[in-house]
């Protein structure tokens, strides 16, 4: 009986870990943004948690101003700050538990919303796909890497990325 209980506990722990391996901090390929993916009531959502340039850079018409959602197609939403902005939502684990599906990804750099899916490549790499169509035919995929954030710095396997 003890062996069965121990086995069930181990199995449940492994299944829970596998399902939550999407949760964490993920750095975009351009190394300018880190999003945090969280699981809330079986829905996976993501928020911007780190920006390489919190303020618009030199040469930008908004130089020195904290970045905000200025290209949103909805003019009522253009005053939202990019930091802590929700950019991923509506993602749920599919029946075969191999990827997150049926969600959306918002690109604040161009103000557009895309159909979204996420697939785990390995424990530290996800494939994010944003598509114009629901089936994922017309879209773009990117590999994002797991990182940690501490004291405003991003840590990955290779090095510390200064803010």
The 3-class SS string of the chain reads CHHHHHHHHHHHHHHHHHHHHHCEEEECCCCCEEEEEEEECCEEEEEEEEECCCECCCCCCCCCCECECCCCCCHHHCCCECCCCEEEEEEEECCCCCEEEEEEEEECCCCEEEEEEEEEEECCEEEEEEECCCCCCCEEEEEEEEEEEECCEEECCCCEECC
113-146 pLDDT, tens digit per residue, is: 999 999 999 999 999 999 999 888 899 999 999 9
Compute the average pLDDT of residues 47-51: 96
Compute the average pLDDT of residues 73-99: 96
pLDDT reported for residue 37: 97
Q: Is residue 155's pLDDT more than 50?
A: yes
Q: How far is CA 124 from the centre of its chain?
A: 13
User: CATH classification of 22-157 is 3.40.50.10800, yes or no?
Assistant: no
CA distances from 129 to 13, 111, 144, 160 (A): 28, 16, 11, 27
9-13, 20-24, 34-38, 155-159, range with the lowest pLDDT: 9-13
Q: Is residue 107's pLDDT more than 60?
A: yes
CA distances from 93 to 53, 72, 129 (A): 33, 28, 15
């Amino acid at each position: 009986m003890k062996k069965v209980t121990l086995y069930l506990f181990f199995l449940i722990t492994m299944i829970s870990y596998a399902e939550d391996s999407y949760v964490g901090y993920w750095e975009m390929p351009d190394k300018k943004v880190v999003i945090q993916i969280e699981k809330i009531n079986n829905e996976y959502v993501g928020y911007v948690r780190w920006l390489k340039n919190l303020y618009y850079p030199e040469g930008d018409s908004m130089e020195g101003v904290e970045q905000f959602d200025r290209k949103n197609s909805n003019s009522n939403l253009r005053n939202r700050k990019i930091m802590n902005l929700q950019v991923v939502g509506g993602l749920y684990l599919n029946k075969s538990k191999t990827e997150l599906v049926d969600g959306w990804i918002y690109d604040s750099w161009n103000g557009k919303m895309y159909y979204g899916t996420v697939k785990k490549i390995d424990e530290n790499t996800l494939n994010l796909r944003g598509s114009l169509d629901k089936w994922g035919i017309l879209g773009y995929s990117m590999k994002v890497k797991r990182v940690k954030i501490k004291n405003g710095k991003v840590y990955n396997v290779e090095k510390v990325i200064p803010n």
